[in-house]
Structure 1
Amino acid sequence: MKQTASHSNTPVFAENHSCTKPVLYQHPTAEEMQVSRWAIFWANAKDFAIFIATAFVIWFVITLALVYFFGG
């Protein structure tokens, strides 16, 4: 009885095979990489609108604080 007892239930495999293949990821084409001018314009317009709205809110809060502390 010179056998060693294995307490692991994990099976022993001959090789470590990867299940991923290079076909799963394909690089985007040049056409897919280009952004339309309309998308750029729309993103810039939204950012500008957010900037203007934030500036107006901050100006309004500062004005209210000054009127509150120093009077109108």
Structure 2
Amino acid sequence: MKETASHSNTPVFAKNESNTKPVLYQHPTAEEMQTSRLAIIWANAKDFAIFIATALVLWFIITFVLVGLFGG
């Protein structure tokens, strides 16, 4: 019973190789840089809906403040 206890669970590898590749960064292709029309339309529609909702909420707040100050 003269076994040496190993306190490490890391495996032993034959040699230490780097995982980095020679090309670290590549510029995106033209196809990768183009945004689909549906994505652009959807983003614009969401922005417009947020704008309209904000404008309506602010209009109601201003209206109620003015009615409270000056009477209806």
Q: TM-score, normalised by structure 1?
A: 0.68
Partner of 2:38: 38
1:44 Cα offset (Å):
0.3
Percent identity among equivalent residues?
A: 81
> Between Structure 1 and Structure 2, how many residues are aligned?
53
Name the amino acid aligned to 1:60. Answer: F
Partner of 1:49: 49
Name the amino acid aligned to 1:58. Answer: L
Q: Deviations over 1:18-54 (max 9, x none)?
A: xx87611110000000000000000000000000001
> Where does structure 2 lack aligned partners over 5 or more consecutive residues?
1-19
Superposed, 1:15-30 pairs within 5 Å as 23-30=23-30
Look up the SS of the partner of 1:23 in the other structure: coil
CA distance in 2, matches of 1:26, 1:52: 41
